[in-house]
Amino acid sequence: MRRQNDQTLGEVLKEWLENSPIKGKIYQSRINLIWKAQMGATINQYTTEIKLVRRKLYLKIVSAPLRQELSFSREKVRNMINEQLGEEFLEEVVIN
């Protein structure tokens, strides 16, 4: 007798990812791609580090004026990345 699956493969993978220790690493990679695609070449050249630690995104910006401008837009950056991820993953964006 065959068993009937109640979940699609996508649902099973999503559930597995939620409980997996590699979720942070996967999201780190996705956030790097999102940052490069959404911010453009100019901002990318001044971004030296993008690090995800416990749902906080740490960005290291070498240009003081750009760092100041992005500091005022931290909430906007967080919302943009969360929207691209498809969930409210990031809790805070810290710009150094």
Number of domains in the chain: 1
In a domain, 15, yes or no: no
Q: Is the pLDDT of residue 58 over 90?
A: yes
In a domain, 14, yes or no: no
In a domain, 38, yes or no: no
Nearest 5°: the CA angle 27, 74, 70 is 110
Q: What is the CA radius of gyration of the chain?
A: 17
In a domain, 56, yes or no: yes
- What's the rounded mean pLDDT across residues 52-81? 96
Q: Is the pLDDT of residue 84 over 80?
A: yes
Terminal Cα distance for the chain, rounded? 60
Instruction: Identify the domain containing residue 83 by its residue range.
Output: 46-96
Q: Is the pLDDT of residue 92 over 60?
A: yes
In a domain, 8, yes or no: no
Q: What is the pLDDT of residue 24?
A: 87
In a domain, 28, yes or no: no
Q: What is the pLDDT of residue 2?
A: 60
- What's the rounded mean pLDDT across residues 12-26? 86
In a domain, 57, yes or no: yes
**HEC letters along the chain:** CCCCCCCCHHHHHHHHHHCCCCHHHHHHHHHHHHHHHHHHHHHHHHEEEEEEECCEEEEEECCHHHHHHHHHCHHHHHHHHHHHHCCCCCCEEEEC
pTM of the prediction? 0.82
Q: What is the pLDDT of residue 85?
A: 93
